[in-house]
Amino acid sequence: MKKNKYTVITWIITVCFVGISFVALFPLFNLILGAFRPSTELMRNGITLIFDPSTLTTDNFVYIFTEASSYWRWYGNSLIISAVIIVTSLFFSSMVGYALAVYDFFGKNFFFILVLFILMIPFEILMLPLFQLMIELRLIDTYASVIVPAVVAPIAVFFFRQYALGLPRELMDAARIDGSSEYGIFFKIMLPLMGPSLAAMAILQGLNSWNNFLWPLIVLRSNEMFTLPIGLATLLTPYGNNYDVLLAGSVMTIVPIVILFIFFQRFFVAGLTLGGVKG
């Protein structure tokens, strides 16, 4: 009797999660479907599941791959910026979080509180001073103007600090006895142990950088420097809306994030779980 009861509950929970998954994936399915529809039908009927299957076409993707040179320039800009932000953010943020977790030094608690304080400040408040700093450094309309503010992310520092609190200190002591330097301990011993947290933060930072719209919109000026979100937004103008190309281009933007998640998915849940309960 009890076994049958648990079976019914399991089925109910499964059905509920399948329904939630369908609702969550419905916009994505609609986006992909709309990318194969011609502009005239999109303007006539909008993005809807009611359509004529005979009107489906691959012309939108053919246009992107053969004629939309600016699109691939924007794609390359986003790839470069996101890759650099992921690497630099993981490198520096992990070092800062590790130091706050395992070392005792003057002002340690103050710096950690400062990190938490910065986390509570909306980015919109920091935009003006950051923009003025980019002007003074003459970095406007360059990759550096987008990358520099994200080199050390407060959320990543906090996350790595929480994860590093659970690292075994005995390994550090053993490495010091063997004559290893502090940098050697970090890069050869502790950093590999932080693999799940690095993978989880790589996905989060990559997703945030790839979808970032507001800050690149402020500091980037020329069409050649635009990232994908800004470039796709330029397809919608008062003189014409290229919804067909916009939808096809939006579908292509999903590919890098899917690839990133596929490579790091087995570490993602473990990194978030362990990093959230340490300390």
Kindly report, residue by residue over 181-202, the tens digit of the pLDDT: 888 888 888 888 888 888 888 8
**Per-block mean pLDDT, blocks of 10 residues, the chain (279 long):** 67 88 84 80 70 77 80 92 94 92 87 89 89 92 92 90 86 86 88 85 89 92 90 72 78 83 69 49
In the chain, which ranges are continuous DSSP H helix? Answer: 2-35, 39-45, 59-66, 69-102, 108-119, 123-136, 143-147, 154-164, 169-177, 182-184, 191-193, 195-211, 214-219, 228-233, 243-277
Return phi, psi of residue 272, to 5°.
-65, -40
- What's the pLDDT at 2? 52
Say whether pTM exceeds 0.85.
Answer: no
